[in-house]
Amino acid sequence: IEMRKSRSILSLGRIDPVKHVEVIVEALQKLADQGVSFVAHFYGGPTAGDQSYYQRIQKSARELVERGLIRFFPAVPNARAAAVYNEHSLFINATPAGSFDKSVLEAAACEVPVLSCNPSFQGLLPEELLFAEGDSADLADKLAALLLRSEAELRELGKSLREAVIREQSLTLLVPRVLGALK
């Protein structure tokens, strides 16, 4: 995973209101205001009905885009997603409770430390990777703490997440649970 860019942050998925991308942009603005060094990439576009939300997100991020701290990219096909995860040192997902986002598990499976506000991931993600839902200040604080860590420390954190995903989410465990639930 030598292609991983230092101090790089990823958000991957549709850019629509349920994903709360504005919380991520607000947190990144706070980091930039504090002089924290990072680059953030947003992969994904709006669904047909969410053009106005997407435009609001791009407008709110304009200053950070102009400073070279944020870049927006089109959605990537699933076959290329692992490569995109592996280019980044951190992954953020602000999708709240009640909406399970598989990108959290995909990023963790790629050994990328994941920040999430979804309580469904308590137990899988350590406390340092869980931020309060809708709280950009809490997210900014957690990001700043992670960005102070060495790449080696982040790699170790990522490896432990991958092991947890394999342990907790593997199909060999999931299939019997699903079949049991269907009986």
Q: What is the pLDDT of residue 182?
A: 74
Q: Which residues contact 16 (CB under 8 A, 6 or more apart)?
A: 46, 47, 50, 53, 54
Q: What is the pLDDT of residue 1?
A: 43
Give the tokens for residue 4: 């991983």
Give the tokens for residue 64: 């950070």
- Could you read off the pLDDT of 30-71 as tens digits, one per residue? 999 999 999 999 999 998 888 999 999 999 999 999 999 999
Max CA pair span of the chain: 56
Phi, psi of 22 (to 5 degrees): -60, -35
CA angle 114, 130, 78 (to 5 degrees): 30
In 3D space, the residue among 11, 34, 35 whose CA is nearest the CA of residue 23 turns out to be 11
Q: Report in angstroms the alpha-carbon separations of 108 from 56, 93, 98, 158.
A: 29, 12, 20, 7
- Could you read off the pLDDT of 131-181 as tens digits, one per residue? 999 999 999 999 999 999 999 999 999 999 999 988 876 666 666 767 777
pTM given for the model: 0.91
CA angle 34, 6, 155 (to 5 degrees): 115
Q: What is the pLDDT of residue 95?
A: 94
In 3D space, the residue among 173, 162, 164, 40 whose CA is nearest the CA of residue 110 turns out to be 162
